[in-house]
Amino acid sequence: MAKNIQAIRGMHDVLPQHSPLWQHLEQSVAGVLASYGYREIRMPILEQTELFKRSIGEVTDIVEKEMYTFEDRNGDSLTLRPEGTAGCVRAAMENGLLHNQTQRLWYQGPMFRHERPQKGRYRQFHQIGVETFGMAGPDIDAEVILITSRIWRALGLDGLELQLNTLGTAEERATYRDELVNYLQAHHDLLDDDSRRRLAGNPLRILDSKNPAMREMLDAAPTMSAHMGDVSRAHLDFICETLTRAGVPFVLNPRLVRGLDYYSRTVFEWVTDRLGAQGTVCAGGRYDGLVEQLGGKPVPAVGFAMGLERLVAVLEEIDPDAGAVSADLYLVLMGTAAEREGLVLGEALRNALPGREIVCHCGGGGMKAQFKRADRSGARYALVLGDAEIEAGTIVLKPLRSDEEQFVLARDAVVATVVERLSA
């Protein structure tokens, strides 16, 4: 027998018992974003490989070893997007959204990275991301962080820690980078292979290393703050003061550097301790150089993206029943005439009860089997219709979640009675 075909490693189905929680998450986030005046943009999942190389950076884990890159039938090199920022910048530039205007945009969808799968880390995962353009001051940095905080409140998520850092401007970072490289070279014997490789191309990333053998040496490494100019310092101060006044606690983490090259000044991450090693549920920052780097006039930009699989996992851990949905009413239909009548009655009931879940049994089967389905649907009531009821012009209403006895209704009283019962 042929072997069953399975999903690709690290790529998962969202099963029907989980999709209500996904929908709740997506709708809650969309609602908060709309309340701040953000507009949705939808970009293709495939882009030219060059876009990611030029934006995320050649010497990053993503571009070096995680992209799904292939040649299409014309021989063009295409890549499944590993993140949304690059595509969003491309789309905004290409469609003239950045010319003399500000933009507050959001997007959602699947991203692809060929990482080693583990809990919270997948090869296809989903993000909701925000990108803002044309605003240079720290007010918009603070706004996007306030948005994330409001999203957690809307979802009932607590226990997340906000970590904040500044990477300074490109010039400030360059002088810091030189000092850091000198320090790391002086401790070359303590560096692991990965860090030695990064020393030339991306030394700041070494600060982010999780290797405990390097911890002490990295803790003593020089930090960015000595190289920060007045403007960068004031930028960070404004954000810190605004967050404090708005009641959003944060931790300044000078080791927070991020895995993508496009950031300048503000970077931040929201971290949970509920997910083990993959604890970052949302991350972002300012990237003032990226539009120019991709060939446009300089446009300041700030954004973030949250990982939906990780948020779903945290929500499920807090409340295992989160997102559970059930039917309100199940129609048990015995025989062809009842099936036909039932479907028509179902329409009348849905007209009268918008938003309620009313399920007509389809596919036949005996009374016992149909009641089993009715019970599994979680419905509070069943309506039972068979040949005898059709003949008598009646229907049976049976409460499924209480000891109350079933009773017989006249057909023309069904809709009003069900409306009354379900509204109680």
Helices of type H across 3-43:
19-35
Q: According to the binding rule CB under 6 A, does residue 289 interact with ligand HAM?
A: no
- In this chain, which stretch among 195-203, 305-313, 359-367, 401-409 interacts with ligand HAM, using CB under 6 A? 305-313
93 neighbors 297 (Cβ within 8 angstroms): no
How far is it, in rounded angstroms, from Cα 313 to Cα 305?
16
Q: Which is nearer to ligand HAM, 160 or 327 (CB)?
A: 160
Applying CB under 6 A, among 125, 176, 330, 381 the residue interacting with ligand HAM is 125
Q: According to the binding rule CB under 6 A, does residue 281 interact with ligand HAM?
A: yes
How far is it, in rounded angstroms, from Cα 216 to Cα 295?
41
Residue whose token pair is 């999903």: 7
* Residue 301 neighbours by CB distance under 10 Å: 27
- In this chain, which stretch among 118-126, 203-211, 212-220, 393-401 interacts with ligand HAM, using CB under 6 A? 118-126
Q: According to the binding rule CB under 6 A, does residue 381 interact with ligand HAM?
A: no
How far is it, in rounded angstroms, from Cα 125 to Cα 78?
19
Closest residue to ligand HAM, based on beta-carbon distance: 307
Nearest approach, Cβ of residue 240 and ligand HAM (Å): 19
How far is it, in rounded angstroms, from Cα 264 to Cα 28?
30
Of residues 384 through 403, those in contact with ligand HAM by CB under 6 A are: none
Of residues 128 through 157, those in contact with ligand HAM by CB under 6 A are: 129, 131
Q: Which is nearer to ligand HAM, 110 or 323 (CB)?
A: 110
DSSP structure class, residue 250: -
Q: Which is nearer to ligand HAM, 271 or 384 (CB)?
A: 271
Q: According to the binding rule CB under 6 A, does residue 303 interact with ligand HAM?
A: yes
The dihedral formed by the CA atoms of 22, 27, 33 and 34, expressed in degrees to the nearest 10 = 160
**CA 361 from centroid of its chain's CA atoms:** 35
Binding characters for ligand HAM, 84-103, by CB under 6 A (x = yes): xx------------------
Of residues 65 through 84, those in contact with ligand HAM by CB under 6 A are: 83-84
**CA distances in angstroms from 71 to 43, 48, 81, listed in the order given:** 20, 10, 14
E strands, 204-338, in order: 251-252, 266-271, 280-286, 301-307, 329-333
**CA distances in angstroms from 222 to 183, 219, 228, listed in the order given:** 8, 8, 12
Applying CB under 6 A, among 160, 167, 282, 329 the residue interacting with ligand HAM is 282
- In this chain, which stretch among 126-134, 195-203, 220-228, 319-327 interacts with ligand HAM, using CB under 6 A? 126-134
Of residues 306 through 365, those in contact with ligand HAM by CB under 6 A are: 306-307, 309-310
Q: Which is nearer to ligand HAM, 11 or 190 (CB)?
A: 11
Residues forming contacts to ligand HAM in the complex (CB under 6 A) are 83-85, 113, 115, 120-122, 125, 127, 129, 131, 259-260, 280-285, 287, 303-307, 309-310
